[in-house]
């Protein structure tokens, strides 16, 4: 196959990054992959005999015009079997018009829950993508979504293919003794992981919950691992509540598998998610999960079976679920064991098998 793809991830241009490696693996599986990448520079990078990267779409109107011209040039030069776009955004619109201009099937990838009411209320950019999604979803030749939840939200057939997660480092991780010593003074340790984008991750709800929780468990700690544009707001909120001892902002860690092993509970408070790989990783590390009803909730995490699922934005329900698991260690252990068993069942799904499924989703577009 010969595929043209639009990517918003500038990490695709950094050799050694996860995105770079993933695209290279896709290309070797598919046949040939040409990727127009949103970046500040222009030109072409030949990564291998199968992968060609075009850093040709910086932000702004000029960037999108350039992306259109690069895409049109490539469509004139090569015969593509599929054009694949990674979101219903302006790049998706460019991909749509190229597919119609050159009569190439269009695959629309959905990596988050664009139809969620929480998503479209998050801001003007999300509202715009929701509206573009309403236009592009019915017109795409095929759709690949990362969860069954997203597939159910669409008024048309779609293939569900979750993001591949290599759980082996988390299943095999050993407890880090330095982390154990660092948090030895806390009797109940909770952790959350994610990019600091508040309208999506809703970490402020966890901080508000901690105000009430330390009243019943003063030596509890919540560690939030990540970084992003809202970091300063989180630091200010923690200081305002006087919770510097009980809520710790932790930068991204390369040793996350062993780091997670020192905690009692994993929390996810998101308003919307496409899948949530962080939850799968926490389950593999042996942590019970309390999460909002987003992403893989109901598909992988089933409440009272291998985790706890609470309504989106419901701080009271989150507090009650955390208090329940704090007060009942045996229940916590049972959910953790069930969560780990759920992930171990998926361990046999190799990356090679995932790549085969990824290619099949593209092939279905050409039928």
What distance in Å separates the CA atoms of residue 220 and residue 267, rounded to the nearest whole number?
14
Domains, the chain: 2-164+349-366 (3.40.50.2000), 168-346 (3.40.50.2000)
Examine the pLDDT at 311 and tell me if it is beyond 90: yes
This prediction has a pTM of 0.92
What distance in Å separates the CA atoms of residue 250 and residue 256, rounded to the nearest whole number?
11
Name, in order, each residue with C-beta under 8 angstroms of 348's C-beta and a sequence gap of 6 or more: none
Question: Confidence class of residue 57 from pLDDT cuts 50, 70 and 90?
Answer: low
CB atoms within 10 A of CB 253: 15
Closest CA relative to residue 140, chosen from 177, 169, 107: 107
Examine the pLDDT at 299 and tell me if it is beyond 90: yes
Structure tokens at 9: 């991830």
Question: Confidence class of residue 62 from pLDDT cuts 50, 70 and 90?
Answer: confident
Q: Which residue has the higher pLDDT, 42 or 90?
A: 90
8 A C-beta contact, residue 53 and residue 37: yes
Q: pLDDT value at position 293?
A: 97
Instruction: List, edge to edge, every strand of the sheet that includes 220-225.
Output: 247-250, 220-225, 188-193, 265-268, 289-292, 308-310
Question: Confidence class of residue 41 from pLDDT cuts 50, 70 and 90?
Answer: low
Task: Express each pLDDT in 169-182 by its tens digit.
Answer: 999 999 999 999 99
Q: pLDDT value at position 347?
A: 65
Question: Confidence class of residue 348 from pLDDT cuts 50, 70 and 90?
Answer: low
Name, in order, each residue with C-beta under 8 angstroms of 190's C-beta and a sequence gap of 6 or more: 220, 221, 222, 223, 263, 264, 265, 266, 267, 322
Task: Express each pLDDT in 239-256 by its tens digit.
Answer: 999 999 999 999 999 999
The rounded mean pLDDT for the chain is 93
What distance in Å separates the CA atoms of residue 313 and residue 205, rounded to the nearest whole number?
7
Examine the pLDDT at 184 and tell me if it is beyond 80: yes
What is the share, in percent, of the chain residues with pLDDT greater than 90? 84
DSSP characters over 176-242: -HHHHHHTTT-SEEEEEE----HHHH-HHHHHHHHHHHHHH-TTEEEEEE---TTHHHHHHHHHHHT
Question: Confidence class of residue 223 from pLDDT cuts 50, 70 and 90?
Answer: very high
8 A C-beta contact, residue 154 and residue 139: no
């Amino acid at each position: 196959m010969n595929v043209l793809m639009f990517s918003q991830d500038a990490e695709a241009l950094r050799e050694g990054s996860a995105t770079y490696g993933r695209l290279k693996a896709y290309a070797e599986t598919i046949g040939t992959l040409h990727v127009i990448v949103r970046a500040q520079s222009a030109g072409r990078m030949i990564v291998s005999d199968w992968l060609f990267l075009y850093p040709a779409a910086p932000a702004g109107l000029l960037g999108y015009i350039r992306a259109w011209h690069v895409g049109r040039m490539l469509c004139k030069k090569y015969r593509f079997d599929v054009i694949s776009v990674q979101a219903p955004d302006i790049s998706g619109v460019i991909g749509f018009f190229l597919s119609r201009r050159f009569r190439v099937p269009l695959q629309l990838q959905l990596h988050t829950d664009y139809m969620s009411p929480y998503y479209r209320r998050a801001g003007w950019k999300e509202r715009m993508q929701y509206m573009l999604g309403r236009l592009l979803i019915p017109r795409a030749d095929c759709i690949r979504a990362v969860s069954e939840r997203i597939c159910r939200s669409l008024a048309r057939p779609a293939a569900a293919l979750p993001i591949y997660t290599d759980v082996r480092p988390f299943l095999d991780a050993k407890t880090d003794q330095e982390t154990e010593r660092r948090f030895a003074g806390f009797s109940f340790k909770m952790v959350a992981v994610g990019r600091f984008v508040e309208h999506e991750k809703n970490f402020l709800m966890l901080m508000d919950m901690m105000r009430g929780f330390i009243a019943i468990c003063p030596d509890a700690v919540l560690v939030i691992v990540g970084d992003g544009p809202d970091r300063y707001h989180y630091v200010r909120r923690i200081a305002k509540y006087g919770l510097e001892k009980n809520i710790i902002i932790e930068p991204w860690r390369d040793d996350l598998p062993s780091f997670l092993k020192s905690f009692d509970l994993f929390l996810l408070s998101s308003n919307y998610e496409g899948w949530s790989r962080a939850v799968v990783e926490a389950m593999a590390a042996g942590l019970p999960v309390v999460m909002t009803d987003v992403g893989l909730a109901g598909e992988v995490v089933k409440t009272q079976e291998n985790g706890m699922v609470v309504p989106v934005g419901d701080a009271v329900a989150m507090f009650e679920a955390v208090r329940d698991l704090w007060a009942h260690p045996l229940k916590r252990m049972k959910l953790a064991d069930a969560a780990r068993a759920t992930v171990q069942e998926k361990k046999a799904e190799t990356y090679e098998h995932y790549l085969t499924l990824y290619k099949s989703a593209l092939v279905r577009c050409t039928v």
